[in-house]
Structure 1
Amino acid sequence: MADQQNPNAVKTAQTTFSILEELKERNGATVTDLTDAFDLSKSSIHNYLTTLEDDGYVMKDGNTYEVGLRLLDLGGHARHRERLYDIAKDEVDELAAETGELANLLVEQHGKGVYLHRAHGDDAVKTDSYIGQRVYLHNTALGNAILAHLPRARVEAIIDQHGMPATTENTISDRDELFSHLEQVREEGVAFDDEARLKGLRCVAVPIVNNNDTVEGAISVSGPTSRFQNERFREELPEKLKSVANVIELNITYT
């Protein structure tokens, strides 16, 4: 389901960001590619790209335009303004080192999850995720840990806006089933992703909840199903994550 459009949105600005998103999704595109994707003439697309290139937001390689590194400057600035990043970063790094796996820190913005930090242990697997990536909340342990601590009306609004697409056969794509699952996550204080977003990958996540019982984000550990089994998957990693989350929550309160 596409994001709902704001009737007060400035069309030119909206198109500019849509072009940047298209360049990201295509991993680079030509003027012709973008003309086919948008209801605009080649000259109009070229004007947008030239403006973005002049300001460093787009780079040109031959006939192909790509997202420029100036956007990394904006993203880096946004991340460092997040108080949770400064408080949780070292704890997530230590979590990765101790488990040997991939550790993650995620927050919710505009109904999607955004990776604020990721740390790789010695045995960590490579995945398609990266810092700054926006992901659905319904098909990840991190997202479920956050959704479980949001008001039901807010979760309903997120589903209405972004939908519940199935990315694997294990994805929960039914609304009632999701709310039943979120109730269990809330009661147990831990969320499990059993190949719900990526085949072969499991994940354990817990929420970060501040002193006002507001969820700030979530942390997780991810790894291959071959290593995430039985007691380690269901008991050891959840307890470790809860311990780390407790430290972060205390630091949020008293820093």
Structure 2
Amino acid sequence: MTDPDESDARGLKSVERAFDVIEFLRDSGGATLSETADALDLAVSTAHIHLSTLVDTGYLVRDGDEYRCSFEFLRTGGDRRDGMALYRAAKPELDELRDETGEHTNVMVEERGYSVQLYKSESPESIDDDASLGDHFYLHLTATGKAILAEFDDERVSEVLDRRGMPANTEDTITDEAVLREELETIRERGYSINRGEHFPGVCAIGTAIVSEPDGAIGAISISGPRSRLTSERIETELAPALLNKKNIIELKIRQYE
């Protein structure tokens, strides 16, 4: 007899449902039992089992009739981030780069074909897309993402684009693969990428990959701010040299951690 919680070769249906519950509560900010059951098309009794189990494990909290994700996820993600050589090496350098430029600075990693923001050093003088830590972005529409793609070979670029596609966030987003590949060649020659309003209207960013042997590109760093301030002249004469200098320092520091 087949267990009702068994799935195909990929895993257990009960585990998949539990993560559906977690993701729904994360996106909604919290919900009641009935709201969760309705949203996920689950029987109320099934939804109650999942919610109760996740409360017991500490990954959800219950406040009256409402359930929401607990800070256990913050600890899990924070522990992983804090243990990364990339984060430890980049954080102080990005704080310094923020002070030098007066703009936001960022570090990201690539995971499952997405760009994931690890840290943002915010300048009170600047503004950008107001993305939260841990946010996932398509690689083709951010400066850090394009810098990472430029380090990939053609086959791996194709794998990412086939898996994730090239949706548009703004009217300036590159959605033509041939155009993107031409830009990746320019990034390889120049050493840094530019995002001119492709992810968020009015925001510009420049990025460069952080490379560690033998792993290749392990992440990327960027400077971001209002498009009106990140002019082509300022990028070429001030921001790009400062960014590439930090790239070299961070890569050297990472080697010391290994």
Judge same fold: TM > 0.5, yes or no.
yes
Instruction: Report Cα offsets for 1:53-112 as digits up to 9, x if no partner.
Output: 222211233433222111111011111221111111111111112112111000111111
Q: Please list every run of 5 or more consecutive structure 2 residues that lacks an aligned counterpart in the other structure.
A: 1-7
SS in 2 for 1:215: strand
Report the CA distance shift for 1:183/1:67 in structure 2 as closer, same or farther (over 3 A). Answer: same
Q: Is the 8 A contact 1:97 1:120 kept in 2?
A: no
- Is the counterpart of residue 130 in structure 1 residue 132 in structure 2? yes
Q: Say which is worse superposed, 231-240 or 216-225, in terms of deviation.
A: 231-240
Q: Is the 8 A contact 1:98 1:121 kept in 2?
A: no
Q: How does 1:93-242 map to 2 (within 5 A)?
A: 93-125=95-127, 127-212=129-214, 214-242=216-244
The separation in 2 between residues aligned to 1:242 and 1:194, in whole angstroms, is 19
What stretches of structure 1 move > 6 A for 4+ residues in a row? Answer: none
The separation in 2 between residues aligned to 1:185 and 1:179, in whole angstroms, is 10
Shift of 1:213: 7.5
The separation in 1 between residues aligned to 2:116 and 2:252, in whole angstroms, is 23
The separation in 2 between residues aligned to 1:96 and 1:108, in whole angstroms, is 22
- Is the counterpart of residue 33 in structure 1 residue 12 in structure 2? no
Q: Please list every run of 5 or more consecutive structure 1 residues that lacks an aligned counterpart in the other structure.
A: 1-5
Q: Is the 8 A contact 1:171 1:196 kept in 2?
A: yes
The separation in 2 between residues aligned to 1:214 and 1:102, in whole angstroms, is 25
Shift of 1:122: 3.2
TM-score by length of 2: 0.90
Instruction: Report Cα offsets for 1:188-220 as digits up to 9, x if no partner.
Output: 111111111111111111111224481121100
2:4 alignment partner in structure 1: none
Instruction: Report Cα offsets for 1:134-167 as digits up to 9, x if no partner.
Output: 2211110000000110122222111222222111
Q: Say which is worse superposed, 150-159 or 197-206, in terms of deviation.
A: 150-159
2:250 alignment partner in structure 1: 248
The separation in 2 between residues aligned to 1:93 and 1:69, in whole angstroms, is 26
- Which amino acid in structure 2 is aligned with residue 103 of structure 1? T
Q: Is the 8 A contact 2:128 2:203 kept in 1?
A: no
The separation in 1 between residues aligned to 2:100 and 2:190, in whole angstroms, is 23
Aligned residues: 251
Instruction: Report Cα offsets for 1:223-243 as digits up to 9, x if no partner.
Output: 112222231134311111001
The separation in 1 between residues aligned to 2:25 and 2:32, in whole angstroms, is 9
Q: Rg larger in 1 or in 2?
A: 2
Q: Is the 8 A contact 2:128 2:225 kept in 1?
A: no
The separation in 2 between residues aligned to 1:29 and 1:200, in whole angstroms, is 34
Q: Is the 8 A contact 2:128 2:226 kept in 1?
A: no
Shift of 1:126: 5.8
Shift of 1:247: 0.8
The separation in 1 between residues aligned to 2:115 and 2:56, in whole angstroms, is 31
Q: Say which is worse superposed, 80-89 or 208-217, in terms of deviation.
A: 208-217
Identity fraction in percent: 39
